[in-house]
Structure 1
Amino acid sequence: MTIYDIAKMAGVSASTVSRVINEKPGIKESTREKVKQLLREYNYTPDENARGLVNRNTRLIGILVVDIRSAHHTDLAFVVENYLRERGYCAIIINAGPSEDQMAEGLKLLEQRRVDGALLVGSMFQNEQVKQGIFEHLREVPVVLANGYLDLPNVYGVLVDECDGVKRCVELLRKKGKEKLAYIGTMDSPSSMAKLKGYQEKMKEFGYDSSDLIIEEADADRESGYEATVRLLRKHGEVEGIIYSEDVIAAGAVRAFWDLGYKIPEDKAVLGIDNTIYGELTYPKLTSLDNKMTEMAYEAARILVEAVEGKTNTKRLMLFSDIVEREST
């Protein structure tokens, strides 16, 4: 069933049917109701691709995620997709991959799909190749970075104060009587480095030299968290508390503490970042820095939709994290 079939049965022009579908004025109410009745009767669904060609508006939004297996990033994408769908937009989610070449290729794919806007999930998109890719492929549409920013006219960013947040984590552990602190985490993104910087700067404020700081690198999974914790504690058994760059890493670490005979938080305190479901599933429950994933997703989606619809908005929005205290501190 096409728009022309509906028009023929209604005894009107195809343009009149189009005006009814798009809620345009200037049509007699009796004609409008007659067309609507036929549209309902035959379950007519407008061809969004065809409408997009006419209106130069596809109502399609591209979402790029570095690794779709990351629960933190897919949770964010879920919130964004729901927001978009409620406002009549459709989302295409692309697993961009960890390399800058793959990220740039993802931007090219979005250009080919003629998206009205794009949302990039994660701080790893803050690199020169992505910046150049946006300029080459998406400079005519709004682009929003969730937990990042690039200095381009059409780019917006929603960020979280992760560096200051980790500083407050250090302060909390010190108030709990844990003075000898260590840091374990990933170091492969601007977000990771901001967290590490928070630990380093705050420990130095407490009188520690750079050579005194205890830092261990780990991948973003439970197994790596377990192994990195074992390595660190065998070298530095005197450590009283550890901050982990992600909850999933800390979840693996909790088992390591038990296997090594340490009680949490009496012997060692554990603090994660992200405030994910892992914090509720560990025993004891994990204290975590809430970096406002839901709020970040909502604000990123809001800014993107408003930009697509021609409304002005702030170029950079900063959110402030909170510490959710549970049993591990």
Structure 2
Amino acid sequence: MVPTIKDVARAAGVSTASVSRVLTNHPATSPEMRERVLAAARELNFRPNAVARSLRSTGTRTVGLVVSDLLNPYFTELARAVEDTARAAGYSVIVGNADEDPAQQDHYIRILLERQVDGLIVVPTVDTSPLLREAAELNHNLVLVDRPADDVDAPTVLADASSAIAELVDHLVAGGRTDPAIIAGPEHVGTARVRLEHFRAALAEHGIALRPERVLHGDFRAASGHDAMAALLAAEPRPDAVFVTNGSMALGVLQLLAEQHAADPLLVPDDIALAVFDDMPWFTLLRPTVTAIAQPTAELGERAMRLLLARINGTDLPDGDALRCRLTVRDSTLPRRSA
């Protein structure tokens, strides 16, 4: 296992902050402290990485943004909000697309740190990231947005979907839907698990158990939504409602429904109700229009950038309460005409 700054601090009997000062040649470091840290680093074969090197210089007026998937319109809007806020403050933004790949995420983080950006905003692809944790421990200017990361001590900007999902379930049950399914995101992604947990808990409030066969996992991409919907429609009996937990997967679901229509017409909402987490502008152009939960995407990006600017300027702002999502009920979840 590659030694970390925590390992060096433990071997030298000092804090990680002391190791950070030595690695960055901070003037407030005694010769004795410096020798202890460097001796421990040599013994462990520790090599200062991009995180440590990036701390030696600041003031580039650039920040880095690493998002999970730029093909997802949600992250495109988020990036735009970050860029608009940064530009207004005199900063430029360099964007990296992790493509939902932890290795690619770390690749971009290293590159951005080596370019000595003044700070980073990251949408974590997984719950655990040693590189992000080390960046936070070295007091790099770091803000997380949309998804949390375990053991990373950094401001985190999140959306709260609980009340909107509860409202959606109330609406579905009131319309006679008692056997719903969910197309959830990857199990290793925190937001995917949270949306599933909220959906299950809201159903339980109505005395409805979410059956295991009604839970399918996609990868937040259109193809996985298509395949998951095909599996649900092949089941006997079919669910009476489907909640798709992101917009990209919903695109695949809608494609499958269009294909299905030629061979075995399936009417929405009479045969099955459809709701989506993520509201898309074109949802109102479809027939039926699509019920959706909208995230406060622009506000998330703006808040994340303002938190980062505060850290760059040497001040700390509170993370603030999670920003609430909003349900918009449209035709795709109306009660069956025979109900």
Q: Please indicate the TM-score interval, normalised by the length of the shorter structure.
A: 0.7 to 0.9
- The alignment partner of 1:230 has SS state of helix
Amino acid across the alignment from 2:135 = I
Structure 1 contact 103–130 (Cα < 8 Å) conserved:
no
For normalisation by structure 1, the TM-score amounts to: 0.74
Q: In the aligned structure 1, how far is the partner of 2:210 from the partner of 2:240? A: 18
Alpha-carbon deviation of 1:238?
Answer: 4.0
CA 233–160 in structure 1, closer or farther in 2 if over 3 Å, else same: same
1:65 aligns with 2:64: no
Which string of whole-angstrom CA distances, capped at 9 and with x for unpartnered residues, describes residues 55-92 of structure 1?
Answer: 94111101112223222212211111111112100111
Q: In the aligned structure 2, how far is the partner of 1:210 from the partner of 1:228? A: 16
Amino acid across the alignment from 2:273 = A
CA 69–254 in structure 1, closer or farther in 2 if over 3 Å, else same: closer
Matching residue of 2:98: 96
- The alignment partner of 1:145 has SS state of strand
Amino acid across the alignment from 1:126 = D
Structure 1: give runs of 5+ residues left out of the alignment. Answer: 1-54
Matching residue of 2:51: none
Matching residue of 1:279: 283
Amino acid across the alignment from 1:318 = A
Alpha-carbon deviation of 1:125?
Answer: 4.9
Q: 1:267 aligns with which of 267, 271, 276?
A: 271
Alpha-carbon deviation of 1:250?
Answer: 2.2
Structure 1 contact 59–89 (Cα < 8 Å) conserved:
yes
- The alignment partner of 1:296 has SS state of helix
Matching residue of 1:235: 235
1:141 aligns with 2:140: yes
Q: In the aligned structure 1, how far is the partner of 2:280 from the partner of 2:195? A: 17
Matching residue of 1:297: 301
CA 159–109 in structure 1, closer or farther in 2 if over 3 Å, else same: same
Q: In the aligned structure 2, how far is the partner of 1:117 from the partner of 1:77? A: 15
- The alignment partner of 1:155 has SS state of coil
Structure 2: give runs of 5+ residues left out of the alignment. Answer: 1-56, 334-339
Q: 1:325 aligns with which of 326, 329, 336?
A: 329
Structure 2 contact 183–218 (Cα < 8 Å) conserved:
yes
Which string of whole-angstrom CA distances, capped at 9 and with x for unpartnered residues, describes residues 277-323 of structure 1?
Answer: 35235332211111211111111112111221223311354111110
CA 268–210 in structure 1, closer or farther in 2 if over 3 Å, else same: closer
Give RMSD over aligned pairs: 2.7
Q: In the aligned structure 1, how far is the partner of 2:243 from the partner of 2:131? A: 31
Which string of whole-angstrom CA distances, capped at 9 and with x for unpartnered residues, describes residues 175-218 of structure 1?
Answer: 22222211113224111111111122222232234546611223
Q: In the aligned structure 2, how far is the partner of 1:59 from the partner of 1:162? A: 34
Counterparts of 1:64-213 in structure 2, within 5 Å, are: 64-121=66-123, 123-135=124-136, 139-150=138-149, 155-188=154-187, 189-209=189-209, 211=211
Q: In the aligned structure 2, how far is the partner of 1:210 from the partner of 1:173? A: 14
For normalisation by structure 2, the TM-score amounts to: 0.72
Larger Rg: 1
Identity, % of aligned positions:
23
Structure 1 contact 80–301 (Cα < 8 Å) conserved:
yes
CA 154–97 in structure 1, closer or farther in 2 if over 3 Å, else same: same
Q: In the aligned structure 1, how far is the partner of 2:67 from the partner of 2:110? A: 14
- The alignment partner of 2:168 has SS state of helix
- The alignment partner of 2:155 has SS state of strand
Q: In the aligned structure 1, how far is the partner of 2:301 from the partner of 2:285? A: 23
Alpha-carbon deviation of 1:153?
Answer: 8.2
Q: In the aligned structure 1, how far is the partner of 2:294 from the partner of 2:238? A: 28
Alpha-carbon deviation of 1:164?
Answer: 4.2
